[in-house]
A and B are shown apart, each in its own frame.
Chain A
Amino acid sequence: MDFQLTEEHRMVQNMVREFTHKEVIPVIKEWDRKQEMAPFILPRMAELGILGINIPVRYGGQGFDYISLGLVCEELEVADTTLRVVMSVHMGLNSMALLQWGTEEQKQKFLVPQAKGEKYACFGLTEPGAGSDVAGMKGTARREGDEYVLNGEKMWISLASKAHHALVVMRTNPDVDPHDGLSAFILELDRPGVKTGDIHGKMGVRAGSTGWISMQDVRVPAENRLGEEGEGFKIAMSCLDNGRYTVAAGATGLVRASLEASVKYAHERKAFGKEIGQFQLVQQKIAYMMQSYEAARLLYLKSGWMKNQGQRNTKETSLAKWYATDASFEAASEAIQVHGAYGFSDEYDVERYLRNSKGGVIYEGTSEIHQIMQAGYALGYRQDAELRCELPAYDAEYWQAQG
């Protein structure tokens, strides 16, 4: 068993850390206050190649492995959750789905510009009335000749107003089991009948874009359907295996950010004649953050390793996501406690960490959903059926070849 990151991994980490420390951390507080996404974020991530980190070079990406994606997400979320959210939707939920399920034509047409960062991508599954109950969605896609006509609304969609492409899951057959009546579509968001907008007044991820997509008689060519008709639920669940991986890695970064802020403050702040790090109850909080950081990191890295090996990782990724997001919420809350009254103000970053951490325990499967999943695996109620298209194992030679 090798716990060592490769030199390549460490250099990727350092590069993203350098970017966030120089360009993001100094300004993110102001954008969070303004409740706007800094306009430079997406183009800069694109320019640096981050938006295509783990996509094969032949499809416009950088050709790194799935562990690199996790490390990038951890580093991004140390700076701000909103940057990791970009990776969750653009890469985890959309681009990786194209890699897994797309035809060669779809990869050339949609994946290549996404991996190059020329087009941004998002993912539309949740509806105003259907979140955890995916199969309860109302949005429809009706086949008419060589086209589908899409109607419905998607809600809580990260990058809805910024993305060029969305992967949306719609009901194509109302007459079968709800799980079998869904299909996935690649939707260009400039098609007639599509409207998008941002949601304001969020508790966290305020420097990010979260919005809605409305579809009214939107005509989409049949070649935009991802996978077979009726395969939408399976595709959506496989997307979550990748999205949750990015969330787990990012939440691990948020634990680290809380830990680092707490350690720094515990050295600086003095009470009763000594620095507060000397007090055992402060030490206890820091010890728990250390514990959860190391555990969360191991969980997501194992999930990344399984992806590299081409092993199904629904169970492991769910566990990593559940643990890391719960831990990030706890760590951020305790980091505020370490900071005392100052932690309660936005003069310090820890209150932003807490606000940002709350979303993670809700999106991409609430903590409760993951508990049910884990219990299901343990009790033998749940097994993962084989997919028609599995996420391809990482093959350095194939990934790095020009094609």
Chain B
Amino acid sequence: MKIAVFVKQVPDSAAKITVENGVVSWGDAPLVINPWDEYAVEAALLLAEKHGGEVTAYSLGDENAKEALKHALAMGCQQAVLISDPALANADTAAVARALAAAAQKDGAELALFGKQAIDWDSGVTPSMTARVLGWPALSLVAAVPALDPAGKTIKVERAIEEGRQVVESRLPAALSIVKDYAEPRYPSFMGIRKAAQAQIPSWTLADLGISAPANTVETLGISAPPAREVSNEIITGDSPADIAAKLVDKIIGEGVL
């Protein structure tokens, strides 16, 4: 079966993000593959290893996004495709979902995997919106896939929800967003690194995808940094660890934290 996994290039989680005059900057911090997407790549590779099939990684963005794709290739994806078009430069989530859906369809994917969210905008809705465009079931927050039947076109997943695990069965094709519990992402292998470094990654424009420029549905009116919060530190002392712990508990309850 064909598995599509969607990855995004984002600023490193350790980057110091600043907002000035409505412009977000991460300085000279490196761009990396969205950490949540690494779990999606891992899930895609594990599913392909267990049930057969091949995994193609897609990323929407400019040339820089190829870094994320190369990371996915080095982890073991068979192919990678960049979706890049000037008309997508300021695309919102709905517009992005249309482009990603077109890519999944063009490739004949039967499973579309996503990280549960991207650490830059944190909207967390791209998987569901892409599923909506495709008309596929959206299986969000997937922590495990206990059963997958490519021939019978069914999939059973465990969703990690606040109350615990919810087991859901669905038809294929389907779109899944993957959470951390699924499996620890593998490191790129040295052989994978060589393959990725030598790979020529094709770029698909909107014309290649056979769609016109999707319209944004959301207009960003302004961006501002959250107000700085006053923080004070207090070191709790006591005669014994038990005494310190008791004082700490009193503090936590007293401050209404719990």
Contact = CB atoms under 8 A, between A and B. Distances in A.
Interface stretch (B77-85, B86-94, B185-193): B185-193
Q: Which of A7, A8, A11, A19 has the most CB of B within 10 A?
A: A11
Interface string A13-47: 01100110000000000000000000000000000
A361 interface: no
Nearest to B198: A8
B194 interface: yes
B196 interface: yes
B193 A18 contact: no
A48 B193 contact: no
Given A6-B197, A63-B194, A400-B194, A11 B189 contact: no
A53 B193 CA distance: 12
A49 interface: yes
Contacts of B71: 11
Contacts of A63: 190, 194
B2 interface: no
Nearest to A7: B197
B188 A15 contact: yes
Contacts, number: 38
Q: Is the interface of B mostly helix, strand, loop or mixed?
A: helix
Given A7-B70, A11-B70, A11-B74, A64 B197 contact: no
Contacts of A224: none
Contact of B197 (A8, A53, A62): A8
A12 interface: yes
B190 A64 contact: yes
A7 B195 CA distance: 11
Nearest to B191: A62
Nearest to B184: A22
A49 B189 contact: yes
Contacts of B196: 7, 11
Interface in B192-234: 193-194, 196-197
Contacts of B197: 6-8, 11
B187 A11 contact: no
Interface residues of A, number: 16
A294 B190 CA distance: 26
A271 B135 CA distance: 60
A251 to B, nearest CB: 24
Contacts of B187: 15, 18-19, 48
Nearest to B197: A8
Interface in A345-400: 400
A8 B188 CA distance: 11
A48 B74 CA distance: 13
Interface in A37-81: 48-49, 53, 62-64
A8 B198 CA distance: 8
B160 to A, nearest CB: 21
Contacts of B189: 48-49
Nearest to A9: B197
Nearest to A72: B190
Nearest to A23: B187
B189 to A, nearest CB: 7
Interface in A275-311: none
Nearest to A61: B190
B70 A12 contact: no
A276 B105 CA distance: 56
A7 B193 CA distance: 9
Contacts of B190: 12, 15, 48-49, 53, 62-64
Contacts of B191: 49, 62
Contacts of A53: 190
A64 B189 CA distance: 12
Interface in B120-149: none
A19 B193 CA distance: 15
B10 to A, nearest CB: 15
Q: Which of B74, B190, B191 has the most CB of A within 10 A?
A: B190
Interface string B35-48: 00000000000000
B17 to A, nearest CB: 16
B193 A15 contact: yes
A170 to B, nearest CB: 35
Nearest to A16: B187
Contacts of B188: 11, 14-15
A8 B194 CA distance: 6
Contacts of A64: 190, 194
Interface string A231-255: 0000000000000000000000000
Contacts of B70: 7, 11
Q: Which of B189, B191, B194 has the most CB of A within 10 A?
A: B194
Interface string B9-49: 00000000000000000000000000000000000000000
A400 B71 CA distance: 20
A15 B193 CA distance: 9
A11 B188 CA distance: 8
Interface string B157-191: 00000000000000000000000000000011111
A77 to B, nearest CB: 19
Contacts of A48: 187, 189-190
A288 to B, nearest CB: 22
A73 to B, nearest CB: 15
Q: Which of A7, A19, A53, A400 has the most CB of B within 10 A?
A: A7
Q: Which 8 A-B pairs have the closest CB atoms?
A: A62-B190, A8-B197, A11-B193, A7-B197, A49-B190, A15-B188, A15-B187, A18-B187
25 contacts: A6-B197, A7-B70, A7-B196, A7-B197, A8-B193, A8-B197, A11-B70, A11-B71, A11-B74, A11-B188, A11-B193, A11-B196, A11-B197, A12-B190, A12-B193, A14-B188, A18-B187, A48-B187, A48-B190, A49-B190, A53-B190, A62-B190, A63-B190, A63-B194, A400-B194
Given A8-B193, A49-B190, 10 more contacts: A6-B197, A7-B196, A11-B71, A12-B190, A15-B188, A48-B187, A62-B190, A63-B190, A64-B190, A64-B194
